Chain A
Amino acid sequence: MRNVTALTQRELAASFLSPVAYIVAAVFLVATGYLFMSNTLVDGGEASVRSMLNSMAWLLVFTMPLLTMRVLADEFASGTIETLMTAPVTDIEVVFGKFLGVLVFYLVLLATTLVHVVLLFVYGATDVGVVIYGYIGMILLGALYVSVGVFASALTRYQLVAAIIGMGVLSVFTLVVDAFAAWYGGTWREVLGYINILHHFGDFSKGIFDTKSIVFFISGTVFFLFLAVKVLESRRWR
């Protein structure tokens, strides 16, 4: 656990020192603010976080992989993976420490979007329960996205490739399954709905409590972290 803390701290420091993280954060916040302004802060706009959270979930498909691309790809590119993996730390600790590092950075980023929620309370009454539940959903969604990103970063030494793989995988479980469900309809719609991240997230942003969705996010996160550990192992062993 101590190793995980050390790795998390280091990863977090690297995030806060990296210009990439700041640029990504800025772009994400500007886009979120713009969508909030044009969808919610308009005449007849719905005084709820639903629309904003849904657009954030969508934006993160393309922004999260840019935050995670560095974590393992850079270790491979610079060769520091060798010093890291010959120190007394396990592969699991490395993957989990890096996962937590980016997750904490994301949580800070997420906290800044609470500004919009404050605005909602100023301009119109809104349901506190729905806001809290929506943000719990954002945390679970973020964890899943980070785990996918860490997995993608474990696959390659090129950060850009890691980002593209991450975006690709996330797209499959969001936009692509959505398109297929719309295309085929019927039973397919239902089946594909089970693996659609945004579909599960819809419950949270609407404020519906569904253990199925919670289980989906947590098991998805664990699954991709597990894959990342296996990839890390096999890349060292080859």
Chain B
Amino acid sequence: MTKTFGNLRAVDGISFTIEEGEIVGFLGPNGAGKTTTLRIVTCYMPATSGSASVAGHDVFAESMAVRRLVGYLPENAPLDVHMRAREYLNFRGKIRGLDRAARESAIKRVTDLCWLGDFIDRPIHQLSKGMRQRVGLADALLHDPKVLILDEPTIGLDPRQIRETRNLIRELAKRHTLLLSSHILPEVEATCERTIIITGGKIVASGSPSELKERIRGGSRLFTEISGPGAEVKKAVSAVSGINNVNCESDNGWQRLTIEPEKGSDPREAIFKMVKEKGWTLRELRLEVGSLEEFFVQITAGQMQEVQS
């Protein structure tokens, strides 16, 4: 789907599928089009072109059916601050078509689930940011939706609250299909089975955190320190199969090598055998897998350059 605001293409031909029961992270820098995409999926606004459907219902043609299936927590959890949390949830239950008994049990359930405790009877304007976020989440869970969509669920929370929210999200993932957005990478890395990276309104990568890691340019790197004559060590290491590039620095008789292995190969064993054969000494041999963070920065920076040029 595509969504334009005037000249701005906020969402530019995005296409993705989420299987039932999956937990998917939508990752991208601020202004990448995450919120717009979520707003289209939750029926807040229609796409300029293209379509989206949730559990087989088109978001435009069968909007009400989609809305009944989806629990949505918008960014910053907007709430009616004049009400008490219980009154607010009661109102939300009513417009979701729950009768009195169903509302009472639903409120009880989400109060326990989101640890609202005594705060349920406090006016919302007295609640802290973290508490409000929980009330918003409680609202999204009120009708026990099949699909849960959370926009930046941990933004503005303190580290302890972030951890609690993550645990809660993992807990929820057992019962609901979950789509959450974030601009913070460890967030998605910690909670999601699959990540969709989006920048400038386009999907630039998608896959599980480990799959994405493998796609990092140049893959992982090897660090090793071998004692021996510089040129010879470098030559010998380069000759080991599965190695792309070797960088060598001398340090007090030790050769410090940075090795770029070929994609998918792990030449650590071969290097050790080679060193043993030559009778040199090895004091370090370490494989560094590129972090998703590096990948994220790389991929989004590349996108920026593309936009600028």
Chain A interface (Cβ within 8 Å of chain B)?
A: 2-3, 5-7, 9-10, 13-14, 17-18, 78-80, 82-90, 236-238
Contact = CB atoms under 8 A, between A and B. Distances in A.
B44 A88 contact: no
Nearest to A79: B78
A133 B45 CA distance: 45
Of A5, A9, A82, A86, chain B has the most CB atoms within 10 Å of the CB of A86
Given A83-B72, A236-B44, A236-B45, A88 B96 contact: yes
Given A80-B79, A82-B44, A83-B72, 9 more contacts: A3-B97, A6-B95, A17-B82, A78-B78, A83-B78, A83-B92, A83-B136, A85-B44, A87-B95
B16 interface: no
B139 interface: yes
B82 A88 contact: no
Interface of B: 5, 39, 42-46, 64, 67-68, 70, 72, 74, 76, 78-83, 87, 91-92, 94-97, 136, 139
A80 B80 CA distance: 7
A86 B72 contact: yes
Nearest to A7: B95
A6 B94 contact: yes
A52 to B, nearest CB: 34
Contacts of B44: 82, 85-86, 236
8 contacts: A3-B94, A10-B91, A78-B81, A83-B136, A86-B42, A86-B44, A87-B67, A236-B44
B95 A88 contact: yes
B78 A80 contact: yes
A88 B97 contact: yes
Nearest to B64: A88
Nearest to A90: B64
Given A2-B94, A6-B95, A79-B74, A88 B80 contact: no
A3 B95 CA distance: 5
A237 B44 CA distance: 8
A154 to B, nearest CB: 16
B5 A88 contact: no
Nearest to A5: B94
Of B45, B72, B136, chain A has the most CB atoms within 10 Å of the CB of B45
A83 B74 contact: yes
B72 A88 contact: no
A190 to B, nearest CB: 45
The 3 closest A-B pairs by CB, nearest first: A79-B78, A6-B94, A88-B67
B74 A238 contact: no
A79 B68 contact: no
Contacts of A9: 91
